[in-house]
Amino acid sequence: MLIGANVSMKGKGMFVGAVAEAASYGATTLQFYTGAPQNTRRKDVSQMRIPEGLADMKSAGLSHLVIHAPYIVNLGNTIKPENYPFAVQFMKEEVARADALHAYAMPFHPGAHVGAGAGAAIAQIAKGLNQIISPDQHVLIALETMAGKGTEVGRTFEQLAAIIDRVEQPDKIAVTMDTCHMSDAGYAVKNDFDGVLNEFDHVIGLNKLAVIHVNDSKNPQGAHKDRHQNIGFGTLGFDCLNAIVHHPQLTAIPKILETPYVGPDKAHMVPPYGIEISWLKSQQFLPEQLVALGATPLAD
């Protein structure tokens, strides 16, 4: 089973440290950012300890490295055209970093139209992707399903399909499904995931699905909030997410946890991933394990 979590690549450990963290959770895949997601400061690839990290991945039985693109890039903003050239250039550099790390896919938030309308944003996102993507790149840019918060683009499969249809290198573009985002966007993830998967297949195509972000949600279906919750502690529930992780049509897709850290207070927060991965591997939900660490009680 390809199951992992978002880990940290920072300090002296860099790639090696990220792999060690993932391995400590019993993961078989992993995701990280090349730097803080809210800014564009990045270390040179020569400092990332790439050969050691790749060797450690192989030794630990990890595969399908996922590199998440930063949130700060908004290709959909046509209101401030002066920001567009920088966004394109930074993403070109991020693709180069992902390729240097031998990454499989790069989840990418498509952007927001900031008042200009989804159509204008979709056209500019596709234009930007056509400038960013090169025929010889290896990493897939995997547009993420969004919750529809504010003016986010990508809240429907149709919007993602409209972007993909305009991309000139279709073999370099894919999709990341986020279970929390899809539910918050209005899709019946909890009650009819097979129906959601069928709709995705008809609108986009299952062959375009590259990554699944496995997150519970703090909000009900259609809330458009985008607030992740720990596995089984939200409105989707353990049974729903466990079935998705073990879905026979999704065996080859890496599943990445991005659930909140837990703890008694903000000064003592710890990652829940080792516990959550063990639940999904064993298909046994033991909520008391996270409650003991200070996790929020189960949602009503």
In angstroms, the CA 227 to CA 218 distance is 6
Please report the pLDDT score of residue 12 as a whole number.
93
Tell which wins on pLDDT, 295 or 280: 280
List residues forming the annotated binding site. Answer: 68, 109, 144, 178, 181, 213, 226, 228, 258
Q: How confident is the model at residue 72 (pLDDT cuts 50, 70, 90)?
A: confident
In angstroms, the CA 172 to CA 164 distance is 10
How crowded is residue 294: how many other Cβ atoms within 10 Å of its Cβ? 14
Sign of CA dihedral 200, 207, 9, 48: negative
List residues forming the annotated binding site for Zn(2+). Answer: 68, 109, 144, 178, 181, 213, 226, 228, 258
Q: How confident is the model at residue 298 (pLDDT cuts 50, 70, 90)?
A: low
Domain 3-292 fold is TIM Barrel (3.20.20)
* Tens-digit pLDDT profile for residues 91-110: 999 999 999 999 999 999 99
Q: 297 by DSSP, 3-state: which?
A: coil
Beta bridge partners of 141: 106, 173
CA angle 130, 133, 139 (to 5 degrees): 145
Torsional class of 139: left (φ above 0), alpha (ψ -120 to 50), beta (otherwise)? beta
How crowded is residue 117: how many other Cβ atoms within 10 Å of its Cβ? 12
Q: 154 by DSSP, 3-state: which?
A: coil
Please report the pLDDT score of residue 147 as a whole number.
97
**pTM of the shown model:** 0.97
> Which residue reads 């690549």 in tokens?
9
Please report the pLDDT score of residue 56 as a whole number.
98
In angstroms, the CA 186 to CA 66 distance is 26
Please report the pLDDT score of residue 37 as a whole number.
82
How crowded is residue 225: how many other Cβ atoms within 10 Å of its Cβ? 15
Q: Which helix (H) or strand (E) holds 111?
A: strand 111-112
pLDDT at 300 over 60: no
* Tens-digit pLDDT profile for residues 225-236: 999 999 999 999
* Tens-digit pLDDT profile for residues 203-246: 999 999 999 999 999 999 999 999 999 999 999 999 999 999 99
Q: 124 by DSSP, 3-state: which?
A: helix
Q: 234 by DSSP, 3-state: which?
A: coil
pLDDT at 39 over 60: yes
Measured in whole angstroms, the distance separating CA 111 from the mean position of its chain's CA atoms is: 14
Please report the pLDDT score of residue 36 as a whole number.
85
The rounded mean pLDDT for the chain is 96
pLDDT at 138 over 60: yes
Question: Residues near 183 by Cβ (< 8 Å), separated by ≥ 6?
Answer: 189, 190, 217, 221, 235, 236
Q: Which of 290, 259, 295 is nearest to 5 (CA)?
A: 259
Q: Which helix (H) or strand (E) holds 280?
A: helix 273-282
Q: What would the mean pLDDT of 62-71 be, rounded to a whole number?
A: 96
In angstroms, the CA 232 to CA 209 distance is 24
Q: 66 by DSSP, 3-state: which?
A: strand
